[in-house]
């Protein structure tokens, strides 16, 4: 997450959130959007469903070498990349911190059933 290149950081932040909330092989985008949206609400982050779709689309296009971030302006205007990225990274950091500090909260990610029960 310390690399200068936002193109690489998108993959890391979205994959980090996916690792926490995606538990089924099907409908991974839907799981990401729904569950990260609920996680954002839990922490008071303003992340819309459209923003989460955009984030997932950017991650997918970057991960599958369909372009570089500067060329993906059709997905999200360049001036919106960094603010959205910053929200996602802040959410991931806040979530992980709370998992380490609050064992009860961390148990919501203990296994697939726990994730489904809390975030579905």
- pLDDT-derived band at 90 (thresholds 50, 70, 90) equals very high
Which one, of 89, 90, 94, lies nearest residue 10 by Cα?
89
Mean pLDDT, residues 11-20: 92
pLDDT-derived band of residue 11, with 50, 70 and 90 as boundaries?
A: confident
pLDDT, residue 68, reads 65
Within 8 A by CB and 6+ apart from 105, the residues are 98, 99
Q: What is the DSSP string of 41-91?
A: HHHT----HHHHHHHHHHHHHHHTTS--GGG-TTTS-HHHHHHHHHHHHHH
Residue pLDDT, tens place only, 46-88: 999 999 999 999 888 777 666 666 666 667 777 888 899 999 9
Does pLDDT of 7 surpass 70? no
pTM: 0.88
Average confidence (pLDDT) over 22-26: 92
């Amino acid at each position: 997450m310390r690399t200068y290149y936002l193109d690489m950081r998108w993959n890391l932040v979205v994959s980090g959130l996916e690792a926490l909330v995606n538990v089924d092989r099907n409908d991974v985008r839907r799981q990401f959007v729904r569950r990260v949206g609920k996680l954002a609400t839990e922490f008071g982050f303003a992340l819309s469903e459209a923003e989460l779709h955009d984030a997932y689309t950017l991650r997918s296009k970057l991960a599958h070498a369909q372009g570089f971030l500067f060329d993906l302006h059709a997905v999200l205007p360049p001036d919106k990349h960094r603010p959205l990225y910053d929200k996602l990274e802040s959410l991931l950091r806040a979530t992980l911190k709370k998992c380490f500090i609050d064992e009860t909260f961390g148990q919501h990610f203990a296994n697939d059933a726990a994730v489904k029960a809390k975030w579905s």
